[in-house]
With several copies, the nearest count.
Chain A
Amino acid sequence: MARPTEDQLRAILVDMVAARTQAGRLWNLQRQGRVGTLAPIDGHEATIAATAHALDPAEDWILPQYREPLALQRFGPEVLEQYLLYNVGHPDGSRLPESVRVAPLQISLATQVPHAVGLAWGMTLRDEPGVVTVFFGDGSSSEGDVHEAMNMAGVLKAPVVFLCMNNQWAISTPLHQQTAAASLADRAVGYGIPGLSVDGTDAAAVYEVVDEARTRARSGGGPTLVEARVYRLGAHTTADDPTRYVPPEDLEAARRDDPIDRLETHLEALGLWGDEDRATVQAEALTLFDGAFERAEAWPTAPGALMDHCFAEDSQRMARQRRDLLGVAGSSGEEVR
């Protein structure tokens, strides 16, 4: 299992800082009513960015939940662009180009976990070398789909990295009310697969375990469950008020372990990072973001998009509905004889 090089760690930090910076911008835009409800990334950056850097964007897949996009720069600039399009409520926001091995965000919790098993299994059937990493939260880990998927992957020896982002909360439900398990990694033994628990605020540690899991998967060793322990530093979503339930002292303690501070300190000590670096990265992140957001807001929408891609071809009824829809978009669209 390989440790990340200093260059890699710096690249990971760059992505983390950019993500945190852009998340702040996005939050403000939401408050201005320019984007819809969204889930902040704050506190999760190290796990996401380090995982992305431990994978090969040309061969490996990432199936996200919904908190990950801003720190997936390694998989291509389109991830940010489409994420912003998604946030302005445009259907095309869920479309990524063929070259980008990232699935659309998943809102129906844990349903992406069996998808990961099928995708990984399918790739082995096609003799493709890739590994599938699927993100899901501590709350999502209680869903039956996670169980069915991990068990199936164990039997099929599917090349999957089950990445459980344990941020201690499912909206207002704390981990101890989510499960009595000492560690979510303890689920692995019940499926006959390896389970690793890692400090998700330590980018280097995350890189190592994901690299180890990926190596095992690629060599036919099957799936691994990785629990990344982090703390949700922000609200669940822009619609949530965490002050109703998050103990301030816990939040304070967590802030002291802010993954970005940790990695900055480490790289500063090595002389690889400083205030200017941060400033530059933040500035570039915002320029990138603002350009992409402008394009996202300007992206045209057609009422017909409502029916596009539902089927490869409209059914008789859909064709009529589409005609009515376009004829009277927004004003009247009921079925006409």
Chain B
Amino acid sequence: MTSASELTMLQAVNEALHGEMARDERVVVLGEDVARNGGVFRATEGLFEKFGEQRVVDTPLAEAGIIGSTVGLAMAGLVPVAEVQFLGFSYQAMHQIAGQVARLRYRSRGRFEPAITIRAPFGGGVRTPELHSDSLEGQLANIAGLKLVAPATAADAKGLLATSVRDPDPVIFLEPLRGYRGIRGEVPDGEHLVPLGEAREARTGDEVVIIAWSHQVELACRASDALAAEGLSVAVLDLRSLVPLDLAGIAAAVDRCGRAVVVEEAVQTGGFAGEVVATIVEECFWSLEAPIVRVSGYDAPYPVGQLEDTYVPDEARIAAAVRRVLEVA
């Protein structure tokens, strides 16, 4: 049996990076302020001291250059783990992410292995300046050739990141800003791997299933617990990875509950929640006893501090949505 420690998501991410760099010397970490400073959130703390300036590199301030160079590093047989300081700045590198990283294997017909991981913090609730909190999953999921991973717990942050670094395909690894210090939990010591594409039942239940990922899982669980007090049995399905998507896991939960709420923080139109709804309709339309409700951000840019709490879905909005799908006879 393996021992475990109580860690924050941030510590879990850091532990995974230490573990992977120690395990595989092909792993290199690059990005803005990731070396001497250990990252602006300390996610890469200690790597520079432990693995040296050759493998842990502070790059110039140039996202397209950073992501573009990971393509070349992969061609050289290395395993780059790049940090985009905030997901909103991945836009500066979108041509490299969508047109190059995502297509390196495809274009070369398997000659080059894009074992590239791009880590980026995202999501709101911590009063950041503009473009630091934006949720872009819906946009990234539409780019063929990319995997999209979004852990909700400290254990998964470690296990999914380790798996992502080892994965032969490019992975965008999303780390919730609010979870860095706000989410903590038991994390297995030593090697810990969690497969991509297997959703996790964060709460069991059979009346409604709330489907979520990343920090929204935490909120969904709180809503589920609150509703349990009212005698409602509300399941929470943590997708863990959006690409690959656990079609069977989603179908099983919806078939069982017959009612579903999908939660995300992004702009509603074109968000990934829409994809989840479409998937449910394709997978288990006949099990549906009520329309699926989306709880999301609004069709407006992620706002400044004073309006953040209005924009970001919270426990109350999620609970209200659950009640709504239950009201339908």
Contact = CB atoms under 8 A, between A and B. Distances in A.
Q: State yes or no: do A and B come from one complex.
A: yes
A97 B96 CA distance: 24
Interface string A151-177: 110010000000000000011110001
Interface string A117-158: 111111101101000100000011011110011011001000
Contacts of B107: 94, 104
Interface in B283-329: 283, 291, 293-296, 298-301, 303-311, 313-314, 316-317, 320-321, 324
A328 B65 CA distance: 42
A332 B320 contact: yes
Interface stretch (A67-75, A84-92, A259-267): A84-92
| Size category, A interface | 35 or more
Contacts of B62: 142-144, 148, 151-152
A122 B95 contact: no
Interface stretch (B2-10, B98-106, B149-157, B181-189): B98-106
Interface string B80-118: 100000001101100110011000011111110100000
B320 A331 contact: yes
Contact of A244 (B36, B67, B68, B89): B36
B64 interface: yes
Contact of B59 (A89, A107, A152, A325): A152
Contact of A111 (B100, B245, B313, B324): B100
Interface stretch (B69-77, B211-219, B232-240, B252-260): B69-77
Nearest to A123: B76
18 contacts: A66-B129, A89-B305, A95-B108, A104-B108, A118-B72, A122-B72, A125-B78, A148-B62, A148-B68, A151-B65, A152-B65, A244-B37, A306-B303, A310-B105, A317-B247, A330-B316, A333-B317, A334-B293
A96 B108 CA distance: 8
B109 A152 contact: no
B60 A177 contact: yes
Interface string B32-45: 11001110100000
B99 A332 contact: no
A98 interface: yes
Contact of B309 (A96, A104, A316, A330): A330
B64 A114 contact: yes
A326 B275 CA distance: 24
Given A107-B130, A114-B72, A335-B282, A91 B109 contact: yes
A173 B77 CA distance: 27
A307 B73 contact: no
Interface string B15-36: 0000000000000100011001
B144 A310 contact: yes
Given A103-B75, A315-B243, A317-B245, 7 more contacts: A108-B91, A125-B78, A126-B76, A142-B62, A145-B64, A173-B61, A306-B311
A239 interface: yes
Taking residues whose C-beta sits less than 8 angstroms from the other chain, chain B's interface range is 35 or more
B21 to A, nearest CB: 13
Given A89-B304, A331-B317, A318 B299 contact: yes
B40 to A, nearest CB: 7
Contacts of A330: 309-310, 314, 316
Given A316-B248, A318-B299, A114 B69 contact: yes
Given A307-B298, A321-B298, A331-B316, A118 B71 contact: yes
B139 interface: no
B306 A142 contact: no
Contacts of A36: 127, 129, 305
A37 interface: yes
B137 interface: no
A315 B269 CA distance: 11
A140 B63 CA distance: 11
A303 interface: yes
A125 B76 contact: yes
B128 interface: yes
B33 A115 contact: no
